[in-house]
């Protein structure tokens, strides 16, 4: 079977053989950028359609079904429509910050997206402090949201941005600590090494009790970080119209929408990487299972990663459409009085687990 690493090596040798070094490097970087960008946009279209279809099923509707077979081109049509909408800038906005907010929101989510490993050998931004990088860069989005709300010269956006800021920074803590719990087990911050450490068994099976607690906490905190589901206070449409992006129109709104959906994917992707083995296939550690292991290992690695990630995305959608919205005091209480103490204790539990086993 051809791996991605071999393909990349072949392209690299072919390019450096035929062209001068600087040109080959430039072409490689353009391929990297264009590839990631394409994947980013295609995933966004798929996620938006998926959300609309599944939400429709939850509400006993059919969902989009006019554009293309089963409505699969609906989000493409929406994208074109949104590009053609007028970009309105209202009176007295802080125009520089208003535009900067967009760049920050997208840069935060795109750079985190680049750190995910979609398959064997598909590592783009693979720092030796990868986990730390993911946590740091993904919080750029908070700055974008706060700027968007502040600069819009609108009371709803200001309230929405403040709520969003409080929510995102609070839930970032327990997300960070639950990832740290897994770093204890991995003994490395590098994403490649974390994935390599799960070759025999995924981390969630290596230390079942603390890892499972950390996994659940990460899913809740991550879900809250995407501003969705029961935690959608920042854009609670019945009280704040659309929250921090009320005054954004046309493609500007489109970018916040894009970032929101991709953040959902990124959270699921990080959870799949850190807890469920990334692109590593499921391996059963027993004598009788060698045949099953070989069959499972035959499934391409990118399919494993996408499968796990989309399973977690579906879980997130399920949660979103099943629970009523929380109040802000309940939201902050859940984080600071429930998740935070549990995740701190869980950190020690994991440390003790490693010490004993």
Identify residues 69-88 at the interface with another protein (CB under 8 A): 83-88
Chosen residue from 23, 187, 239, 294 binding another protein by CB under 8 A: 187
CA 285 → CA 63, 274, 276, distances in Å?
43, 20, 15
Identify the CA nearest to 99 among candidates 148, 135, 133.
148
Q: Which is nearer to another protein, 287 or 329 (CB)?
A: 329
**Binding residues among 28-47 for another protein as defined by CB under 8 A:** 28-29, 32-34, 36-37
CB of 71 to another protein, least distance (A): 24
**Binding residues among 209-238 for another protein as defined by CB under 8 A:** none
Q: Which is nearer to another protein, 83 or 292 (CB)?
A: 83
CB of 139 to another protein, least distance (A): 9
Angle at 226 between CA 204 and CA 179, to 5 degrees: 30
Here the tokens at position 342 are 């549990």
Q: Is 103 in the site for another protein (CB under 8 A)?
A: yes
Identify the CA nearest to 267 among candidates 115, 160, 154.
115
DSSP class of residue 277 equals -
CB of 287 to another protein, least distance (A): 28
**Binding residues among 253-272 for another protein as defined by CB under 8 A:** 254-255
- Which helix (DSSP H) or strand (DSSP E) does residue 354 occupy? helix 340-356
Q: What x-and-dash track marks residues 129-148 binding another protein by CB under 8 A?
A: --xx----------------
Q: Is 241 in the site for another protein (CB under 8 A)?
A: yes
Furthest-apart CA atoms within the chain: distance in Å? 71
Q: Is 336 in the site for another protein (CB under 8 A)?
A: yes
- In DSSP notation, 240-254 reads HTTGGGTT--HHHHH
Q: With CB under 8 A as the contact rule, which of the stretches 68-76, 200-208, 312-320, 335-343 interacts with another protein? A: 335-343
Decide if 221 contacts 174 (C-beta within 8 A): yes
Q: Which is nearer to another protein, 25 or 212 (CB)?
A: 25
Chosen residue from 71, 141, 160, 165 binding another protein by CB under 8 A: 165
Strands (E), the chain: none
């Amino acid at each position: 079977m051809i791996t991605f690493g071999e393909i990349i090596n072949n392209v690299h040798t072919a390019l450096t053989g035929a062209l001068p070094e600087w040109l080959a490097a430039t072409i490689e970087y353009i391929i990297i950028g264009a590839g990631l960008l394409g994947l980013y946009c295609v995933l966004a279209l798929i996620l938006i359609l998926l959300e609309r279809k599944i939400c429709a099923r939850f509400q006993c509707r059919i969902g989009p079904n006019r554009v293309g077979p089963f409505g699969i081109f609906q989000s493409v049509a929406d994208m074109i429509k949104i590009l053609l909408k007028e970009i309105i800038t209202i009176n007295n906005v802080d125009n520089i910050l208003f535009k900067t907010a967009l760049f920050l929101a997208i840069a935060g989510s795109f750079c985190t997206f680049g750190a995910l490993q979609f398959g064997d050998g598909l590592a783009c931004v693979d720092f030796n402090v990868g986990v730390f990088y993911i946590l740091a860069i993904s919080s750029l989005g908070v700055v974008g949201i706060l700027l968007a709300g502040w600069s819009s010269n609108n009371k709803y956006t200001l309230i929405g941005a403040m709520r969003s800021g409080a929510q995102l920074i609070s839930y970032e803590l327990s997300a960070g600590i639950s990832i740290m719990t897994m770093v204890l087990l991995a003994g490395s911050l590098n994403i490649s090494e974390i994935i390599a450490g799960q070759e025999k068994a995924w981390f969630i099976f290596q230390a079942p009790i603390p890892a499972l607690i950390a996994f659940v906490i990460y899913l809740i905190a991550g879900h809250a970080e995407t501003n969705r589901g029961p935690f959608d206070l920042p854009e609670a449409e019945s009280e704040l119209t659309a929250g921090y992006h009320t005054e954004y129109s046309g493609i500007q709104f489109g970018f916040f929408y894009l970032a929101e959906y991709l953040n959902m994917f990124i959270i699921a992707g990080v959870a799949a990487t850190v807890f469920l083995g990334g692109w590593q296939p499921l391996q059963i550690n027993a004598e009788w299972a060698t045949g099953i292991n070989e069959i499972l290992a035959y499934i391409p690695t990118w399919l494993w990663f996408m499968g796990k990630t989309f399973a977690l995305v579906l879980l997130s959608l399920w949660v979103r459409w099943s629970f009523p919205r929380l109040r802000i005091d309940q939201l902050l209480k859940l984080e600071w009085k429930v998740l935070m103490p549990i995740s701190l204790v869980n950190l020690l539990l994991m440390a003790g687990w490693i010490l004993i086993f």
